[in-house]
Structure 1
């Protein structure tokens, strides 16, 4: 048996008035509720009145558990969406690496190096001009400067000889990594007068006098003989 508070409306009469409507006051009576059967509930008011009501099945829900369940579902949805977005991004990056690998003739496996390969590929075919440093034309040190500034945020010296002198570390040919610089002495010069950027698989990209920005191989007879050193900042 349990006690419920039932609001009973008891009319409260006032003097009749043409302008004022009748008002009613609300009073509260205490009642006892007892389940009499599987189908009915007997309700007895405090003034002795008895009323039989149909049984109402109720189910109480713990709001905290409901909130936790909803929160858990939302977190699961967010996690799934994030995973799906991550998968889509990886597929896009994989496709881009394949395309750039084909374009540059090297195998690209490290996604963190995509900025380097994007920038390098974007300059392919740009014609050569001594002192040039724009989309219209570049020279070897100008091209290397642009790559380092746009990809690594590093400002290099303007000429090949100075760049070679100021590298932090000299690198042997077999220890080169994508992004390292490669230096040469061309036209039988005794000093370094040409620079390019290593992109892997024994290849480097540079601005050549005859062909503009191209990819060449370190093992080529001309560049193999002209090789001086690799450099890393």
Structure 2
């Protein structure tokens, strides 16, 4: 590859580096505490009712109200580490994770960056959020630099820079003070 091609590729990746995740705060569980359903982490793949029962208990809700496909997807990725610009289970960033959730679970394509996603939502107040809505944060200044998927009862799934894919509480003072926007994608 020529130097020009290398520079072109590098320039294409720069926006992803600066639009990535900034979450570092505590979570309900992450790398060191993978969910255990029926004795093993992979039990959810065999029995979605056990998996949704586990997440219903974690979220304090009824398992019938949960989207089994969403929680199966989350369970598969739980604890996957953060990597700026990453797209795999060995490393993923917040906007890539949310984009994959939407593609796999809801069959919708979202923009690649959290800032672009935030421009394409029907805005809501945080007390109006429903499962699958998006929550946006600004940890590094005025611009949105982090995104997660709202679950239920104030919880959301996202990619923390320290713990990877985790479920956190939106009302945690640290997250809530950085919450900038939330709503339903209009795509």
- The TM-score, its normalising length taken from structure 1, stands at 0.56
Q: 1:199 maps to which residue? A: 151
What are the superposed Cα offsets for residues 18-71 of structure 1, whole Å, 9 maximum, x if unpaired? Answer: xxxxxxxxxxxxxxxxxxxxxxxxxxxxxxxxxxxxxxxxxxxxxxxxxxxxxx
Post-superposition shift, 1:221?
A: 1.6
* 1:35-54 pair list within 5 angstroms: none
- Larger RCO, structures 1/2 (Cα 8 Å, 6+ apart): 2
1:218/1:112 CA distance change after superposition, 3 Å: closer
- Of 180, 189, 196 in structure 1, the residue corresponding to residue 133 of structure 2 is 180
Q: 2:123 maps to which residue? A: 170
The answer on 1:149 being equivalent to 2:103 is yes
Q: 2:86 maps to which residue? A: 132
| Matched length | 139
Larger Rg: 1
Post-superposition shift, 1:195?
A: 0.2
**Unpaired segments ≥5 residues, structure 2:** 1-46
Give the distance between the partners of 1:159 and 1:108, measured in 2 at CA: 33
Q: Is the 8 A contact 2:55 2:63 kept in 1?
A: no
Q: 2:23 maps to which residue? A: none
Post-superposition shift, 1:191?
A: 1.1
- The TM-score, its normalising length taken from structure 2, stands at 0.69
**Unpaired segments ≥5 residues, structure 1:** 1-91
Q: Is the 8 A contact 2:51 2:72 kept in 1?
A: no
CA RMSD after TM alignment: 1.7
Q: 2:53 maps to which residue? A: 98
Give the distance between the partners of 1:229 and 1:115, measured in 2 at CA: 25
Post-superposition shift, 1:144?
A: 0.3
Give the distance between the partners of 1:106 and 1:205, measured in 2 at CA: 15
Equivalent position SS for 1:200: coil
Q: Is the 8 A contact 1:106 1:203 kept in 2?
A: no
1:173/1:218 CA distance change after superposition, 3 Å: same
Q: 1:82 maps to which residue? A: none
* 1:35-114 pair list within 5 angstroms: 94-102=49-57, 104-110=58-64, 113-114=67-68
More strand by proportion, 1 or 2? 1
